[in-house]
């Protein structure tokens, strides 16, 4: 028997989450189990790293399974991708140590929440962005986000249905960026200066407020509570529209009350974009001879967020 790790990407729109459910609804885990069992002729059940919610996407979620198949570990990606549906594909596969467990190791995960901010919705961005016509102030969002970096009790940013033993978590990096999108049809520019209003400066300001953009909220951490990133995104959106002051964020954390934070943002805007594993720290923690978290140089807040590559999976061979 060998243990194989799969780096899995999926569009979560048509899935009822990652984890298989007794009701038989379509899940990522259920699809992987079915296709792997058909491929190997064995009864395969994968173990997933992040059990993402319904509608949440991933570029690099991890899953492992045990098999007696003669297929080499690095060949499973190609073999599975010819059988998997279009909304889930394997990005990489390889053999790992028999005792490697994706949820029992030291990790830094990065989620990205994307907002399509424009006067009207776009079908192009509808599946992987949350839409809002509210003109958010991204500077206010950044100042509010900075208050969340570090180790805190995130009970205010946790679903009331969470069963976590502790609500203390560490955010190692958080950022808010925006990307202005071009006038989709290029039409507005054709009429600029020809309307005879005599107010070009005012018209230019109005156009900048209406220009479509993508606002991205990136959150990296050693672990997250149920709905934590989506509640952070919803709260930062409230700060961006002026409903919450950035300087109120410390008191929202201190309240340890879900009612103090903003709403839970829709699932479709959330994507797991990075998974970083620290094998040596994981082995030390299991043996009781080392730290219980990632290396100390990655627990210094927002200054380290650029150290994480887009997709980085460093697992034991």
Catalytic site residues? 53
CA dist list (Å): 234 to 73, 113, 173, 239, 308: 40, 10, 18, 9, 24
HSE (side-chain half, CA atoms, 13 Å) at 244: 26
Read out DSSP for 230-248?
Answer: HHHHHHHHHHHTTSS-GGG
Burial class of residue 1 in the structure, from the number of CB atoms within 10 Å of its CB (0-12 exposed, 13-18 middle, 19+ buried): exposed
Dist. CA 301–CA 111, nearest whole Å: 15
> For the CA atoms of 45, 64, 108, 81, what is the dihedral angle to 10 degrees?
-100
Dist. CA 153–CA 231, nearest whole Å: 14
Read out DSSP for 97-133?
Answer: -TT--TTSS-EEEEEEEEEEESSS--TTTTTTSEEE-
Q: Which of 301, 283, 305 is nearest to 292 (CA)?
A: 283
Dist. CA 250–CA 123, nearest whole Å: 37
Structural tokens at position 150: 């570090």
Cβ atoms 98, 83 nearer than 8 A:
no
Q: Which of 50, 214, 17, 7 is nearest to 126 (CA)?
A: 214
């Amino acid at each position: 028997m060998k243990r194989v790790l799969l780096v899995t990407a999926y569009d979560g729109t048509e899935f009822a989450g990652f984890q298989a459910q007794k009701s038989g609804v379509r899940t990522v885990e259920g699809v992987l189990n079915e296709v792997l069992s058909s491929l190997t002729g064995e009864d395969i059940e994968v173990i997933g790293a992040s059990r993402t919610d319904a509608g949440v996407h991933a570029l690099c979620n991890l899953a492992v399974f045990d098999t007696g198949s003669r297929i080499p570990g690095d060949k499973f990606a190609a073999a599975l991708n010819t059988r998997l549906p279009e909304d889930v594909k394997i990005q990489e596969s390889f053999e790992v140590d028999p005792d490697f467990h994706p949820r029992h190791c030291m990790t830094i995960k990065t989620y990205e929440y994307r907002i399509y901010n424009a006067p009207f919705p776009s079908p192009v961005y509808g599946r992987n962005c949350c839409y809002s016509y509210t003109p958010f102030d991204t500077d206010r969002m950044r100042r509010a986000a900075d208050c969340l970096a570090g180790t805190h009790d995130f009970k205010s940013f946790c679903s009331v249905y969470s069963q976590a033993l502790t609500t203390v978590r560490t955010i190692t990096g958080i950022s808010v960026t925006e990307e202005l999108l071009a006038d989709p049809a290029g039409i507005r520019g054709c009429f600029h200066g020809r309307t005879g209003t005599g107010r070009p400066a005012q018209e230019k300001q109005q156009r900048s407020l209406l220009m479509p953009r993508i606002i991205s909220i990136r959150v990296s951490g050693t672990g997250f509570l149920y709905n934590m990133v989506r509640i952070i995104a919803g709260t930062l959106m409230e700060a961006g529209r002026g409903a919450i002051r950035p300087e109120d964020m410390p008191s929202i954390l201190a309240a340890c009350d879900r009612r103090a934070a903003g709403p839970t943002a829709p699932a479709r805007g959330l994507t797991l974009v990075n998974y970083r594993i620290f094998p040596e720290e994981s082995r030390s923690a299991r043996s009781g001879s080392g730290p219980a978290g990632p290396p100390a140089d990655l627990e210094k807040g927002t200054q380290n967020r650029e150290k994480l590559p887009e997709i980085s999976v460093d697992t034991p061979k």
